[in-house]
């Protein structure tokens, strides 16, 4: 009965969060395009399935990933073995990312568009190893109490430096690869790991020391993928086409078989995390889970929730988003494209499950300093601004190097002056904006614009919008904290 009540609350909450997307779509169809799509009923069903998936997923997180992540962190902290903790961090980071659907999709698109010059499997392994390394690095930082802002300032100075030398074909892809590492499975698990570890170590603050792992997981792949691009594009192009063409000649499975295959894909995405947890819980710690039935039930809810979520998006939103982008380009009224980019960026971010989850965790960790809903509004505004600027770059044809470098120089400056309690959270919030809702819509928009605007390259100009969606939430959240600190200081002076 308790689970049913919590589920119904989560379901209604998910429907409320999807309302902005419905408003944006209806507004553009009725007032701008002046036509309603043929599959309106399909879209409505899809939205209900999305809400169902989000509700199931969040319930599953509360029963499995959150408590298990925090429990493992507590046990490792009490055990006091730094090598084991770092190994656990690497394994969790690698396993959570290597089978990430958004990363697989982006890597395959990059391989196809580059005609095999960029290898999809190499790209995925490189990003997964990078994330594993930085999660271990973040745990090391939390254990020894090193401030995050120095890691981020030095790290993004490296990002800007490498971007200057990287070939233009790899820059957008590298930033998108960093962005898609953070999904609705990875983010809650890594966040729970960091918060649980900080809460277990005396002298550590869950807000300032617990957050930051997601930020590092976004940053380092940007560096490694650009270095990979420098190596790949410094050598002559291979005559061998490495593009894989698997299964195109086979009949597409239908009905129950297709559903089972898609569900099996979701199990595959979550399986590496489950195996990592089992290995460290039973082999390394040699202890059983405190409530295995509850945890198993939670993981089942996560899998079915993720499945319903993705199916609902495919059925309800993606076809509409793609067709609307094409229709807006055909209108040749770029003002509407900017407006659509801004509104869809805001709406999709407000509906992002990972942002909802991290916003709730931040509110709990901050003990009254932060409001979860205010955080979501600030992040959504940052995403909307970022996507609009990214769309402007594609339309006018500017070099992405200078936009990205300028954005991160601003981020580095704000990091140096922002209140310390907000830095780790701001960077993490920049990472959680790019997940299952945002990535497909934003990627489709970027590639659609590049394909339909004369003189644009899909590989050079089509990728990169996700990067802008990641940068500007960091800016808006830090600016908000800086302004609030200034207002508070003024009030204290007057009193």
**Residue-level pLDDT, tens digit, the chain, 495 residues:** 677 887 887 788 777 767 777 788 788 888 888 777 667 777 778 878 888 887 888 788 788 877 877 677 677 767 767 888 888 888 888 887 876 666 776 787 778 777 788 888 888 889 889 988 988 888 888 888 888 778 878 887 888 889 888 888 788 778 777 777 766 666 666 777 777 778 777 778 777 777 777 777 778 888 899 899 899 888 765 544 433 333 344 444 556 677 787 778 778 777 887 888 888 888 888 888 878 888 888 888 888 887 887 788 777 766 666 677 777 877 777 888 899 899 988 987 887 766 777 777 777 766 666 777 788 889 999 999 999 999 999 888 877 778 888 888 898 899 889 988 788 788 878 777 665 556 666 777 787 788 778 888 877 787 778 878 888 999 999 998 898 888 888 888 877
Q: Coil, helix or strand for 382?
A: helix
Q: Would you mind telling me the total number of residues written for the chain in this entry?
A: 495
Q: For position 266, what pLDDT does the model report?
A: 74
Q: Which residues have C-beta within 8 Å of that of residue 215, sequence separation ≥ 6?
A: 148, 152, 424, 427, 428, 430, 431
SS (H, E, C) 73-129: HHHHHHHCCHHHHHHHHHHHHHHHHHCCHHHHHHHHHHHHHCCCCCCHHHHHHHHHH
pLDDT for res 472: 92
**In this structure, are residues 305 and 54 in contact, taking their beta carbons and an 8 Å threshold?**
yes
For the chain, percent helix, then strand, then coil, each to nearest 5? Answer: 80, 0, 20
CA of residue 490 relative to chain centroid, distance:
37
* Among the listed residues 476, 453, 478, 467, the one whose alpha carbon sits nearest the alpha carbon of residue 390: 467
* Predicted local distance difference test score (pLDDT) of residue 243: 36
Residue 470 burial (C-beta neighbours within 10 Å; 0-12, 13-18, 19+): buried
From 368, 377, 333, select the one nearest 476 (Cα to Cα). 377
C-alpha span between 138 and 92 (Å, rounded): 12
Cβ atoms of 313 and 348 within 8 Å: the answer is no
The closest alpha carbon to 106, from 177, 179, 165, belongs to 177
Q: What DSSP designation does 166 have?
A: S
pLDDT at position 34 is 79
Q: Answer whether 0.85 is exceeded by the pTM.
A: no
Distance in angstroms (rounded) separating the CA atoms of residues 170 and 459: 8
Residue 60: which H helix or E strand, with range? Answer: helix 40-63
State how far the Cα of 110 lies from the Cα of 119, in Å rounded to an integer: 8
């Amino acid at each position: 009965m308790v689970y049913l009540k919590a589920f119904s609350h989560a379901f209604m909450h998910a429907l409320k969060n999807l309302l902005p997307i419905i408003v944006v779509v209806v507004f553009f169809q009725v007032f701008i395009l002046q036509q309603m799509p043929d599959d309106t009923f399909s879209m409505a069903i899809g939205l209900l399935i999305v809400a169902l998936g989000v509700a199931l997923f969040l319930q599953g997180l509360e029963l499995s990933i959150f408590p298990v992540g925090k429990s493992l962190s507590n046990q490792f902290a009490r055990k006091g073995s730094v090598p084991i903790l770092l190994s656990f961090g690497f394994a969790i980071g690698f396993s959570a990312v290597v089978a990430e659907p958004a990363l697989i999709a982006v890597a395959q698109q990059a391989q196809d568009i580059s005609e095999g010059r960029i290898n999809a499997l190499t790209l995925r392994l490189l990003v997964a190893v990078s994330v594993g390394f930085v999660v271990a690095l973040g745990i090391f930082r939390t254990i020894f109490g090193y401030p995050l802002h120095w890691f981020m300032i030095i790290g993004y100075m490296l990002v800007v430096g490498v971007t200057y030398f990287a070939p233009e074909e790899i820059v957008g892809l590298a930033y998108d690869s960093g962005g898609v590492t953070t999904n609705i499975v990875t983010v809650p698990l890594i966040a729970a790991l960091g918060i649980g570890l900080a809460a277990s170590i005396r002298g550590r603050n869950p807000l300032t020391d617990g957050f930051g792992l997601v930020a590092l997981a976004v940053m380092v792949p940007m560096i490694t993928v650009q270095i990979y691009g420098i190596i790949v594009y410094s050598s002559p192009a291979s005559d061998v086409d490495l593009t894989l063409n698997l299964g195109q000649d086979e009949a597409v499975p239908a009905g129950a078989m297709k559903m089972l295959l898609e569900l099996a894909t979701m199990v595959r995405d979550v399986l590496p995390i489950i195996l990592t947890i089992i290995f460290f819980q039973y082999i390394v710690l040699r202890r059983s889970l405190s409530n295995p039935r509850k945890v198993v039930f939670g993981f089942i809810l996560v899998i079915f929730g993720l499945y319903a979520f993705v199916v609902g998006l495919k059925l309800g939103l993606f076809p509409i988003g793609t067709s609307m982008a094409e229709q807006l380009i055909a209108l040749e009224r770029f003002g509407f494209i900017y407006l659509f980019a801004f509104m869809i960026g805001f709406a999709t971010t407000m509906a992002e499950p990972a942002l909802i989850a991290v916003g709730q965790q931040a509110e709990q960790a901050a003990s009254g300093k932060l409001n979860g809903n205010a955080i979501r509004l600030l992040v959504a505004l940052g995403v909307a601004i970022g996507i609009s600027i990214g769309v402007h770059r594609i339309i006018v044809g500017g070099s992405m190097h200078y936009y990205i470098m300028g954005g991160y120089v601003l981020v580095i400056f704000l990091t140096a002056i922002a209140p310390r309690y907000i830095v780790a959270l701001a960077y993490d919030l920049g990472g959680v904006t790019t997940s299952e809702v945002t990535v497909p819509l934003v990627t489709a928009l970027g590639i659609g614009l590049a394909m339909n605007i004369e003189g644009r390259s899909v590989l050079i100009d089509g990728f990169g919008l996700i990067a802008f969606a990641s940068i500007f939430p960091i800016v808006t959240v830090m600016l908000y904290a800086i302004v609030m600190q200034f207002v508070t200081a003024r009030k204290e002076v007057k009193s």
